[in-house]
Amino acid sequence: MIRELRRVLVVFLLLTVVTGVVYPGLVTLVAAVAFPRQSSGSLIRLDGELVGSRLIGQSFSSPRYFWGRPSATGPAPNNGAVSSGSNQGPLNPALVTAVESRVAALRAADPGNTRPVPVDLVTASASGLDPQISVAAAEFQVPRVARERGLPEAQVLERVRAATEGRTLGVLGEPRVNVLELNLALDAGR
Short-list 124, 105, 101, 123, CA closest to 113:
105
Sheet holding 164-165, edge to edge: 132-134, 176-178, 164-165
Residue 155 and residue 149 in contact, taking contact as beta carbons nearer than 8 Å: no
Question: What pLDDT, in 10s, does the model give residues 102-157?
Answer: 999 999 999 999 999 999 999 988 788 889 999 999 999 999 999 999 999 999 99
User: What gap in Å lies between CA 89 and CA 154, rounded to an integer?
Assistant: 38
Residue 149: predicted pLDDT: 96
Question: What pLDDT, in 10s, does the model give residues 50-75?
Answer: 888 888 888 899 999 999 999 888 77
Across 8-28, average pLDDT: 95
Short-list 163, 160, 166, 167, CA closest to 141:
160
Question: What pLDDT, in 10s, does the model give residues 158-187?
Answer: 999 999 999 999 999 999 999 999 999 999
pTM for the complete prediction?
0.80
Across 14-22, average pLDDT: 96
Residue 123 and residue 86 in contact, taking contact as beta carbons nearer than 8 Å: no
Residue 108 C-alpha from the chain's centroid: 24
**Where exactly are the structural domains of the chain?**
1-40, 57-188
Residue 19: pLDDT band by 50, 70, 90 thresholds? very high
User: What gap in Å lies between CA 142 and CA 4, rounded to an integer?
Assistant: 71
